[in-house]
C-alpha cells in the first residue's frame, strides 16, 4: 500500500511540474505570439551599453516600444540582409536632434549612454547631415522611428544618421536583457 502511494505522489508531482512549465512557457511567449531569440553583439557599435561579443535575449515581435529601448531592425544592402541592434530614440511625431553626441528629444537632452571614440571624425560622406555628432532638428514622420547606435562615430553605421528614418515594420525584435541577466535599456 505504502509503495503505491509513493508512486502516485511521484506521478502527480511529475505532471504538476510539467503543467507549471507549460503554463509558464505559454505565459512568457504570450501564448506563442512572441518568441525569444539569443543574439550576439558582433561589433562595438552599441558600446558602452553592450560590449562586442556579449550575448543578449530579444523578443520578436517587438511589441510596444518606448524611447530608449534597444531594438533589432532589418537592414538590407545589395542582396544581403542584416539584423542590426540600435537604440530607439524617437517615435512618430517626435522632434529629435543631436548636440555633441547627446540626443535631444522634444527639446530635452536624454540620459542614454554613448561613446565617441574619435571626436575628430565628425564628418562622413555617408551621413545625411555634414556633422554626425551635431545635427537636426528632425521631425519623425508617421510609421517611422529614429534609431541610433550608442557609438556615435563611424563605427555606429548604419543608423538613422546615415540611412534616415526607419519604417516601423522593419523592426524585428526588442532586446531585453543579456544572457547573464543584466537588463538592457
Output the tens digit of pLDDT for each of the chain's 185 residues.
566 777 677 877 777 777 667 666 555 555 555 688 999 999 999 999 999 999 999 998 888 899 999 999 999 889 999 999 999 999 999 999 999 999 999 999 999 999 998 888 888 888 899 899 999 999 999 999 999 999 998 766 899 999 999 999 999 999 999 999 999 98
pLDDT score of 29 = 54
- Which cell goes with 167? 519604417
How far apart, in whole angstroms, are the C-alpha atoms of residue 62 and residue 90? 15
Q: Return the residue matching grid coordinates 562615430.
A: 153
Tell me the residue length of the chain: 185
Within 8 A by CB and 6+ apart from 107, the residues are: 95
User: Which residue ranges make up each domain of the chain?
Assistant: 1-33, 34-178
Is residue 36 within 8 A of residue 58, CB to CB? The reply is: yes
Dihedral of CA atoms 130, 143, 149, 54 in degrees, nearest 10, equals -160
Hey, what CATH topology would domain 34-178 get? Answer: Umud Fragment, subunit A (2.10.109)
Is residue 112 within 8 A of residue 87, CB to CB? The reply is: yes
Amino acid at each position: 500500500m505504502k509503495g503505491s502511494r509513493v508512486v502516485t505522489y511521484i506521478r502527480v508531482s511529475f505532471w504538476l511540474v510539467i503543467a507549471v512549465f507549460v503554463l509558464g512557457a505559454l505565459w512568457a511567449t504570450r501564448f506563442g505570439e512572441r518568441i525569444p531569440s539569443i543574439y550576439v553583439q558582433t561589433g562595438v557599435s552599441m558600446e558602452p551599453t553592450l560590449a562586442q561579443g556579449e550575448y543578449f535575449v530579444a523578443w520578436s515581435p517587438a511589441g510596444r516600444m518606448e524611447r530608449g529601448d534597444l531594438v533589432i531592425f532589418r537592414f538590407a544592402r545589395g542582396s544581403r540582409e542584416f539584423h542590426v541592434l540600435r537604440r530607439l530614440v524617437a517615435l512618430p511625431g517626435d522632434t529629435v536632434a543631436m548636440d555633441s553626441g547627446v540626443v535631444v528629444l522634444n527639446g530635452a537632452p536624454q540620459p542614454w549612454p554613448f561613446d565617441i571614440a574619435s571626436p575628430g571624425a565628425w564628418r562622413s560622406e555617408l551621413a545625411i547631415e555634414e556633422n554626425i555628432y551635431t545635427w537636426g532638428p528632425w521631425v519623425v514622420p508617421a510609421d517611422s522611428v529614429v534609431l541610433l547606435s550608442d557609438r556615435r562615430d563611424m563605427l555606429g553605421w548604419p543608423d538613422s544618421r546615415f540611412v534616415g528614418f526607419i519604417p516601423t515594420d522593419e523592426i524585428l525584435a526588442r532586446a531585453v536583457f543579456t544572457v547573464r541577466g543584466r537588463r538592457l535599456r
